[in-house]
Amino acid sequence: HGIMATSLREIRLVDGTGTPRTLTPADDDFRHAGVALGLLGVITHVTFACEPRFGVELRTDVVSFDDYVRDPVMQESRTEFHASVWDPNARRVVRFAGERTALPRRPRRRELRFGYRTAISTFLSRRLRLDWAVANWNFRRTVSGDAADILSPVRVRPQTVQFRIVANGLFQLAAELAVDAARAPEVLERLDGFFRRRRRYLRNPIGLRMTRGDGFSLSPAHERDTLWLDVFFYNREPFMSEFRELIDELDAREHWGKTLVSAPHALRARYPAWDAFREARARFDPEGVFGNALSDRYGLTRPRVATG
């Protein structure tokens, strides 16, 4: 599967000139609108491709990092639905692999990928070097349930989400790297060596997932199958400078909604359709109504000059 935007079938928006626009995959500008960071206009309506409800049987187990890294693409594509959690301290990977099934009579929701079991076991391995906590005896299980519960189990109050965002921001940052899946073994080996020498800077285990490439101009998965790495870390030097240098060497793009570690000029160079998006943005919003500090900093828009 690709990122959520690959399920888009229609986007309606009002651009910077006040003109309503309707875009579908048949329109050339659709490739710019799928991942646009709000820079093309105010979206008023979206249509996604849908399908009937179905069940998912999800199997959870643990493998060694050495086994996983031999072929990460196979690991993350052996079933239709998949994700993993990698604990660099224990050098083990918790795998979540699911296949479609009939809706069960007695559905069960799965545990959170970053739930209490993962948090406690990885804390034990990080702080006390008790690597045996990240093992099959603790994680192996099979659950079946509605796809909505199995694949999207996070259901919390908005106030709780806001509290976690503020609390985490006081202690850590979160970035999600998007690297070419063809380089997955090399990337994981490099990160393994990097974090083994910097254990104290890594706040949580690393989330892993794989998506197909797509054609959206600013998508981190633009034109390449992508391995995503969800990394939580302390905002301290010299770690940040060293991490930024490694990201540059890995040619990693980054999730736009999380911490952007790369320098603006470096990130721009990783998007082949960057200039095409800027050209479309100039047509949709010639006065820069939707520009902001982030888009100005990364060169997607030009700072507006105050008049009057």
Domain boundaries, the chain: 4-50+273-297, 55-151, 158-268
The CATH number corresponding to 4-50+273-297 among 3.30.1360.100, 3.40.50.300, 3.30.465.10, 3.30.390.10 equals: 3.30.465.10
Share of the chain above pLDDT 90, in %: 70
Q: What is the total residue count of the chain? A: 308
Which amino acid belongs to residue 217? S
Closest C-alpha among 29, 46, 15, 34 to residue 218? 34
- Return the CA Rg of the chain: 21
Check pLDDT > 60 for residue 307: no
Would you place residue 308 in the very low, low, confident or very high pLDDT band (cuts 50, 70, 90)?
very low
For residue 82, the tally of other CB atoms under 10 A from its CB is 19
Dump pLDDT digits (tens) for 74-122. 999 999 999 999 999 999 999 999 999 988 877 776 666 666 777 788 7
- Least confident interval from 6-15, 19-28, 128-137: 128-137
Check pLDDT > 60 for residue 147: yes
According to CATH, what is the number of the domain 158-268?
Answer: 3.30.70.2520
Q: Would you state the torsion angle of the CA atoms of residues 34, 38, 41, 43, taken in this order, to the nearest 10 degrees?
A: 60
CA distance 6 to 121: 35
Greater confidence (264 vs 111) lies with: 264
What pLDDT, on a 0 to 100 scale, did the predictor assign at position 306? 53
For 56, residues 6+ apart whose C-beta sits below 8 A from its C-beta are 81, 98, 99, 100, 101, 144, 145, 146, 147, 150, 151
Say if 4-50+273-297 and 158-268 have the same CATH topology.
Answer: no
What pLDDT, on a 0 to 100 scale, did the predictor assign at position 157? 59
Which amino acid belongs to residue 84? S
89, 116, 131, 155, 296 from 307: Cα distances, Å = 55, 54, 62, 46, 18
